[in-house]
Amino acid sequence: MPAPTYVNDAGTWRQQRGTSFGTDREGKDFIELIYRGATASAASWRVPWTIGTACPEPGFTHCKLLHPPTVREAAPGFSEARLRFEGLSPLSGSAAEGTDPTVTHHTEETEFIIRHEHDGMGEVNAVYLYNRVIVQASYIRATKPTANLRFASKLNDDPDPVPIANVDHKYPWLRNYSLLTLKDPTNNTDLFDYEVKTVGRVLNWSQTAPDVFEVTEEHVKFINGGYIKLG
């Protein structure tokens, strides 16, 4: 097949109509640009389009190229490429802190133990049932997540867990779950029934694009069983 002949600069790679852009529900901007040009020069045209290249479209320079262009033949002598750029939307949050989160709340049935020191029997454990509270917050930020968790306060939207049933009661003198009392935070004694504590962590994160990190925090409110000394 003879090499195609282009009139004037018809073979020069240029941006075409068909641009699409928006913001997804997680607060991430995206924009897709379409380019068209001579098939013979496609390989050299795509060289500068490396991962992380800023979008050339005004208003979207915060979006970065996800991957080098995939070129497809569109017509004899001509090829097209679609470039996708993504970035943290300035309308959804700050680059340092990230977007507004998607927060989920749920509970999980589990157990806790109260240790009893009995003069005649040594240590005896009583096992109780309760529902711990789990909160997960997912958001996007422009940098890797750090130990500075953002959404521990979301646990305050859920009531504190309480004992709901006896599990292992070998002796009649072990207290029924309904009689257990929460530790007084102003009392520093080591002897108490149970206390409510919290813990948080970065459950997972992934880098989906240059300067785009999808993060999920997990925060848990749980019961810590105490220690009781019996005569």
User: What is the spatial distance between Cα 231 and Cα 216, in angstroms, rounded to a whole number?
Assistant: 48
> Residue 21 pLDDT > 90, yes or no?
yes
pTM: predicted TM-score of the whole model, two decimal places? 0.73
**Count of domains forming the chain:** 2
What per-residue confidence (pLDDT) applies to 231? Answer: 59
Report the mean per-residue pLDDT for the chain. 88
Residue 3 counted as domain residue = no
Question: Which of 60, 91, 122 is the last residue in one of the domains?
Answer: 91
**Inter-CA distances, 167 with 113, 126, 171, Å:** 10, 8, 12
* 149 within domain boundaries: yes
- List the domain range (segments joined by +) for residue 42: 14-91
Q: Is residue 193 a part of any domain in this protein?
A: yes
Q: Is position 9 within any domain?
A: no
Q: If you ran DSSP here, which 8-state letter would residue 78 be given?
A: E
- Of 40, 62, 91, at which residue does a domain stop? 91
| 6 is a domain residue | no
Residue 134 shares a structural domain with residue 225: yes
The answer to whether position 182 is within a domain reads yes
Q: Rounded to an integer, what distance in angstroms lies between the CA atom of residue 197 and that of residue 133?
A: 11
Same domain, 214 and 107: yes
Q: What pLDDT, in 10s, does the model give residues 131-169?
A: 999 999 998 888 888 888 889 999 999 999 999 999 977
Residues with Cβ within 8 Å of 156's Cβ and at least 6 positions away in sequence, in order, are: none
61 and 104 belong to one structural domain: no
| Same domain? 70 vs 118 | no
Identify whether residues 131 and 27 lie together within a single domain. Answer: no
Whether 6 has a pLDDT exceeding 70, the answer reads no
Residues 199, 134: one domain? Answer: yes
What dihedral angle (degrees, nearest 10) is formed by the CA atoms of 190, 194, 197, 199?
100
Whether 21 is covered by a domain: the verdict is yes
Question: Which of 91, 124, 140 is the C-terminal boundary of a domain?
Answer: 91
| Two tokens, residue 55 | 């979008």
60 and 151 part of one domain: no
Q: What one-character-per-residue DSSP string does 147-169 give?
A: S--S-GGGGGGSPPP---EEEE-
Domain assignment present for 212: yes
Higher pLDDT, 94 or 83: 83
Q: Which structure tokens are listed for 34?
A: 């379409």
| Same-domain pairing of 131 and 207 | yes
Q: Which residue has the higher pLDDT, 17 or 212?
A: 17
One domain, residues 86 and 109: no
Same domain, 77 and 121: no
Q: Specify burial of residue 193 (Cβ count, 10 A radius: 0-12, 13-18, 19+).
A: buried
On whether both 42 and 102 belong to a single domain, the answer is no
Residues 49-53: what's their mean pLDDT? 93
> Do residue 132 and residue 155 come from a single domain?
yes
